[in-house]
Amino acid sequence: MANNLHRSAGVLDVPVIAPGHDFETVTETVAQIPLSKRTPLGWIFGFLIGLTLLGGLTMALGWLLLNGIGIWGNNIPVAWAFDIINFVWWIGIGHAGTLISAILLLFKQQWRMSISRFAEAMTIFAVMCAAIFPIFHTGRPWLAAYWLFPYPNTMGLWPQFRSPLIWDVFAVSTYATVSIVFWYVGLIPDFATMRDRAVSRVKQTIFGMLSLGWRGSARHWHRYEVASLILAGLSTPLVLSVHTVVSFDFAVSVLPGWHATIFPPYFVAGAIYSGFAMVLTLAIPVRAAYKLQDFITMKHIDNMAKVMLATGLMVGYGYLMEAFFAYYSGSFYERQMMIKRMFGPYGWAYWLLIFVNVGLVQLLWFRRVRANLPLLFVLSLLVNVGMWLERFVIIVTTLARDFVPASWGMYYPTRWDFITYFGTIGLFLTLFFLFIRFVPMISIFEVRTLLPQAKVDHGHAHGAAHGPTGDGQDTTPRSH
Amino acid sequence: MHVNEPTNATYGVMAEFDSAQTIVDAARLTMAEGFSKVEAYTPVPIEELNDIIHKTRTILPKLVLAGAIAGMMTGFGLQYWASVIEYPMNVGGRPYASWPAFVIPSYELTILFAALTAAGGMIALSGLPQPYHPVFNAPRFSLASSDKFFLVIESVDPKFSVSDTSRFLHRIGAKGVYEVPA
Amino acid sequence: MEVNFRRDPTIYDGRFANNGWLQELPKPVTKLTWDNAALIAPATAERLEVENGDIIEVTHEGRRLRVPVWITPGQAQDALTVSLGYGRTRAGRVGNATGFNGYVLRGSNSPWFGAAEVSVTGDDYPLVSTQDHWSLEGRNIVRSAALGEYTANPGFAREMEHLKLDKPISLYPPHDYSQGNQWGMAIDINTCTGCSACVIACQAENNIPVVGKDQVSRNREMHWLRVDRYYTGPIDNPDTFLQPLPCMQCENAPCEVVCPVAATVHNDEGLNDMVYNRCVGTRYCSNNCPYKVRRFNFLLYQDWNTESIKMQRNPDVTVRSRGVMEKCTYCVQRINDGRIQAKREDREIRDGEVLTACQSVCPTDSIVFGNINDANSRVAQLKSSPRSYAMLEELNTRPRTTYLAAVRNPHPSLPTHSSVGGHHTEDADQGSEPSGQH
């Protein structure tokens, strides 16, 4: 669709859905992927890669359970390293899905409809990858798995609620639960579609059960729309709070470089930044492989790139403020921390991250870059590398160079650190490939609402949550 | 012949439409005609249909509010009880009732309870899961989840008669009218 | 070049080479463990173009030894020191293959020093030290003044704060510690010689494991009490300060707040209690400790099986398995013992009755522990000395372990930098990034 780009009033003039579709073509294009018996070769290839890395994860976690945290590079003073870096990285990535599903819904942004489902799926899988670390990074995970939760017990003991790690437990559990619920609720009508189109008895039964008997009655749709709006309205403060709570893991401590009030908004912006990068990393190949360009159009790509730019700028502001606070506060330790971060033993990581997150992201100002899919793909990968480095710099440089110089010590990762990290990428890929294969990856019923077949006259849009606004959001087919 | 008692063999008659506009117009006419046991089945949500046919809005938002309040009280109550009453401990010199810290899990539980109420309430209020419903007996109904819109008038409606109601539905623009066995 | 032979500060003449505690004990000045080295002056190292761990070949009276260098500020120029007792081949499981045998070089003609030639081999050897950074980096962790300054201003240490706190900066009222025994400790930097007997005493008393050279190289030594060593002033002739660092037992302990399972909480007598069986090992407490006194069992460091080791251990102290944090407890088992004894005799605990392990072995009485609520106790009197200060006071941790600043009295014609710990002193950049192991 690249040759269809032209500017009108500075807005990319590409429709949110390509012209020439009706309910049946939309349904068929998306539904036939899970229903078909054929599995594309590319899928098998990608799935096997994911599965291999997942095998590595299993091995790494098994070895960890047998031996202890000592197989990693953590030490005193750097008691947290790859484990918490990866945890924050994964949780951050998950935030884009909720933003697309929930926040863009509240803002009535139509372009969210075709990407919301797989962005939500990405969120759920990212949270699952993240959740491995709070359990397994502990010295005794078989106890941490349940002692961190409030439950009545013979010891009369409860979690220590002032600890940010307990706040994490509540926030991440809530986030995982609400994300899964929101995602599943969104799938119910599409599972009904699959049930009604499935040919094999097995698929009919499974989709039948998953759809709960959905029949699309007006009364049910009404409740559904109300529930969706409520869930979106709840997910918005939730997603803002989750990475805020994660940032509290650092901000609540006394350490220079961690104890900063900029952390909550800085982390949330960073999370959305890395999340949208991951959505782009997934969307660009998937839309090409499954020929979904009519639904995930260049408008979507353009908008996602713009969100990345905006949040990248916020993150850059965060870096600037950190440096400024260090100077302006007059705090001796804060200034020393900043100098060590920039010019100490890990200074290379700091400048690399500035180059990617502040430097490279400026490329997104240019429409030609935003429309160049291979370049955008590479950029999205680099952004996630940059965001990983950001957590590395925050965690490791502060711990390695804190108050008492006699305690300063370097951190070096071991092979198990890397295998575990890439293993979680394998888990993510495995789940994501399973999702693409067996679940309709685009929200079929929502995309239908963009078509003329779904229009109802006199003014008010149908559906409080879905459907076009009256101000000419582009949905009618154009002849380009 | 006017039949007030339900006929056991028939659930109702079902009219098929091609677009949201046509079913909305048809629904208006149907309600104006005096029918009351009516339901529409569509592949997309159409808010007008609920207003026309059912007229009332769901109580779900109120349930969600109750859930949210329950969540907040559970969260704060649990933390307060555990930290002040049941097992108070001097942790870092902080007061036992560390309410700034307690805000955060309370906030999360508020959202959790509200969200579960919203989703669970929506599903339960709609009587789901309900694997069987008479409308699934109509063969064309499988298209209700793809690209066709259906309007059903149930046989328990006082003005229902298989022949008259079917003719009425043809008149108001149905592309097809089918009898739905019970 | 001159080569000097010395008895090793930890394994003596080699008789203790098979003693794991002594092998792992960081040597008082170099903080090396598990090996000896040829101590060399920074200027000499620069001249020879060698870094820490580079192996040189020392030839003395025709005998040769390959030994790695260790740069030691304050070492005389063009003089090496090689400590004796290492390099044994039949010392036992622990002592074999550690260090380099100084006896190879040493002869009866000149048993303590002599002329030597040195050549750089180009090889290197991993030397492991527990403290790589010797500079105070402009911080007021250790405070000292020359005698004249002390006489003029006895409270000099109190003024060396980065941030002056007139009153407590908390929103909340503090817990009431006015009743009963409240334990505290005062450590006198002025009298500490750095002998490190306290470290071994703590290890013996508290069943602290030996982790081995590889784990020490990864910064995982388990000593609860460590002795930090700082150099200030010119690198070839610095002043040296030694600071034993146990747990500060902070009243507003930052470690306690962040533990998710309440495995570390505060007791009524002012101790920060470590509850091993509740700890799940998130290590957040270590991160939040600004003094970094906490240690973590990254692996199963304790010998769980050897019967004789079970007999060696102190039965009053838990043996920690893998995955739990541990730290100095002010020898809480001794406090409990003292309390039980006092209860039996229906009296209060007397000052000096409960001695922490470190206190009981210190040859210069630098460590004083006791009840700060008892105005007559030694510790209360020391804490009221004008030399008394708390480390990192501006963080409002309110530590029970405080220090007494050093007072030095060098001859006026000697160069000295005895005033240490004030704002932004110029030795901030010296020796910041060493070429050491970690």
Q: For A334-389, how does the pLDDT look when each residue is reduced to its tens digit (9 = 90+)? A: 999 999 999 999 999 999 999 999 999 999 999 999 999 999 999 999 999 999 99
- Contact assignment for B90 to C266 by CB distance below 8 Å: yes
According to the model, what pLDDT value does residue A297 have?
93
What is the share, in percent, of chain A residues with pLDDT greater than 90? 84
Residue contact A163–C257, C-beta within 8 A: yes
Model confidence at C290, in pLDDT bands (50, 70, 90)? Answer: very high
CA distances from A44 to A40, A266, A288, A434 (A): 7, 39, 16, 10
What ipTM, to 2 d.p.?
0.93
C-alpha closest to that of A13 among A318, A302, A434:
A302
Q: Taking CB atoms and an 8 Å cutoff, what residues of chain A touch B99?
A: none
Asked whether residue A306 is assigned to any structural domain, the reply reads: yes
Q: What are phi and psi of A454, to 5 degrees?
A: -100, 0
Kindly state the average pLDDT of the residues C371-387: 96
Half-sphere exposure of C110 (CA within 13 A, CB side): 13
* pLDDT on residue B5: 53
Tokens encoding A57: 């994860």
Residue A233: inside a domain, yes or no?
yes
Confidence grade of residue C418 (pLDDT, cut at 50, 70, 90): low
* Inter-chain CB pairs, A–C, below 8 Å: 176
Residue with tokens 């790695």: C68
Average pLDDT over residues B38-63: 94
Question: Quick one: tokens of A229?
Answer: 């709006």
Closest Cα to residue C88, out of C80, C79, C96, C76? C96
Phi, psi (degrees; rounded to nearest 5) at A302: -60, -45
- Cα-flanking dihedrals φ and ψ of residue B17, to 5°? -130, 165
Average pLDDT, integer, range C99-112: 94
Q: Which residues of B touch A165 (CB under 8 A)?
A: none
B15 has which bridge partners? Answer: B151, B177
Domain membership of residue A164 (yes or no) is no
Residue C336: helix, strand or coil by DSSP?
Answer: helix
Q: Is position A288 within any domain?
A: yes
C422 falls in which pLDDT band (50, 70, 90)? low
pLDDT of res. A301: 94
**Residues of chain B numbered 146-165 and touching chain A (CB < 8 Å):** 146-147
Residues in chain B within 8 Å Cβ distance of A230: 60-61, 64, 114-115, 118
Please give the tally of structural domains in chain A.
1
Q: What is the mean pLDDT of residues A234-256?
A: 96
The answer to whether C245 and A76 have CB atoms below 8 angstroms apart is no
E strand or H helix that includes residue C258: helix C254-258
**What residue type is assigned to position A4 of the chain?**
N
* A21 in any annotated domain: no
Written in H, E and C, the secondary structure of B36-104 is CCEEEECCCCCHHHHHHHCCCCCCHHHHHHHHHHHHHHHHHHHHHHHHHHHCCCECCCCCCCCHHHHHH
C-alpha of C290 from chain center: 16
Alpha helices, H only, A293-372: 298-328, 332-343, 347-354, 367-370
Q: Indicate whether A11 belongs to any domain.
A: no
Chain-chain contact of B60 with A223 (C-beta, under 8 angstroms): yes
- Which residues lie across from C70 on neighbouring strands? C39
Q: What mean pLDDT is predicted for residues C175-198?
A: 95
Write the residue in C282, C288, C298 that is nearest to A254 by C-beta: C288
Domains of chain C by start residue, with CATH = 2-129 (2.40.40.20), 144-427 (3.30.70.20)
The answer to whether C66 faces chain A, any CB pair under 8 Å, is no
Instruction: Tell me the C-alpha distance between A136 and B60, whole Å.
Output: 40
Q: Give the pair of three-digit tokens for residue C157.
A: 């240490």
Buried b (16+ CB within 10 A) or exposed e, A356-384: bbbebbebbeeeeebbbbeebbebbebbb
| Residue A52 confidence (pLDDT) above 90 | yes
Q: Which domain holds residue A458?
A: 32-149+170-466
Neighbours of B119 (CB within 10 A): 23
* Range C375-383, long-range pairs (CB < 8 A, 24+ positions): C376/C351, C377/C351, C378/C351, C378/C352, C379/C184, C379/C185, C379/C186, C379/C351, C380/C184, C382/C186, C382/C188, C383/C184, C383/C186
3-state SS assignment for residue B34: coil
Nearest to B93 by CA among C399, A271, C283: C399
pLDDT reported for residue C174: 85
Residue A173 scores a pLDDT above 90: yes
pLDDT at A166: 97
Residue A455 placed within a domain: yes
Q: In chain B, which residue's Cα lies nearest the Cα of C250?
A: B92
On average, the pLDDT of chain C sits at: 92
Q: Which residue(s) pair with A233 in the sheet? A: none
Query: Is A9 a domain residue?
Result: no
Q: Give C208's DSSP letter.
A: P
Reply yes or no on whether the pLDDT at C40 is more than 90: yes
Lowest mean pLDDT among A105-114, A462-471, C101-110: A462-471
pLDDT, tens digit (0-9, with 9 covering 90-100), for C302-352:
998 999 999 999 999 999 999 999 999 999 999 999 999 999 999 999 999
List of chain C residues whose C-beta atoms are within 8 Å of the C-beta of residue A402: 290, 292
Closest alpha carbon to A172 in A139, A144, A149: A149
Does residue A53 contact residue A425 with C-beta atoms inside 8 Å?
yes
Give buried/exposed letters for C257-294 (b at 16+ CB in 10 A, else e).
Answer: bbbbbbbbbbeebbbbbbbbebbbbbbbbbbbbbbbbb
